[in-house]
Amino acid sequence: MNDLTELRDLFAEKAHPTADRLASARTALLAEARAKRRPRAAGLRRLVLAGGLVAAMTTGVIVVQTFNSAAPASGAEVLRLAAEAASAAPWPEPRDDQYLHYERIAESRSENGVPNVVPRHITGEVWESVDGSRPELWWHKPAKSIPRGNESKELLPRCPSGPGSGRLAYADLRGWPTDQEQLRRKLAERGNQSLLNKDVATQIWGGVVGVLGSPVPPKQQAAIFEIAATLPGIEIEELKDATGKSGIAVTRVDNRGPGGAISRESLIFDKTSYVLLGGQELVPGRGRELWSITRPQITDVLPAWSKSLKPTECV
Partner 1 sequence: MPLSTTLSDAALIERSWRDPEDFALLFDRHAGHIHRYVARRLGDDTADDVVSETFLAAFRQRRDYDIARPEALPWLYGFATNFIRRHQRAEVHRYKAYSKVGVLPDAVDAAEQAVERASAHAVRRPLAQALASLKARDRDVLLLVAWADLTYEGVADALSIPIGTVRSRLNRARAVVRDALGSTDPMTEIS
| Site residues, partner 1 (CB under 8 A) | 1, 3-4, 6-8, 10-17, 21-22, 24-26, 28-30, 32-34, 36-38, 55, 57, 60, 62, 88-90, 273, 275, 297
User: Which one, 26 or 167, has the nearer CB to partner 1?
Assistant: 26
Nearer to partner 1, 92 or 147 (CB): 92
Q: How far is the CB of 222 from partner 1 (least distance, A)?
A: 15
CB of 225 to partner 1, least distance (A): 17
Residue pair 94/132 in contact (Cβ under 8 Å)? The answer is no
- 192 versus 273: smaller Cβ distance to partner 1: 273
Q: Closest distance between partner 1 and the C-beta of residue 106, in Å? A: 22
- Min dist CB 265 to partner 1, Å, is 27
Residue type, 189: E
State which residue, 4 or 42, has the beta carbon closest to partner 1.
Answer: 4
The nearest distance, CB 301 to partner 1, in angstroms, is: 12
- Minimal distance in Å, beta carbon 85 to partner 1? 9
| Positive or negative: CA dihedral 299, 305, 309, 312 | negative
Per-residue burial over 143-159, b if 16 or more Cβ lie within 10 Å, else e, is eeeeeeeeeebbbbbbb
- Shortest Å, Cβ 217 to partner 1: 16
Which is nearer to partner 1, 25 or 114 (by Cβ)? Answer: 25
Of 31 and 114, nearer to partner 1 (C-beta) is 31
Pick 22 or 314: Cβ nearer partner 1: 22
Query: CB of residue 50 vs partner 1: minimum separation in angstroms?
Result: 18
Specify the residue, 32 or 181, whose C-beta has the smaller distance to partner 1. 32
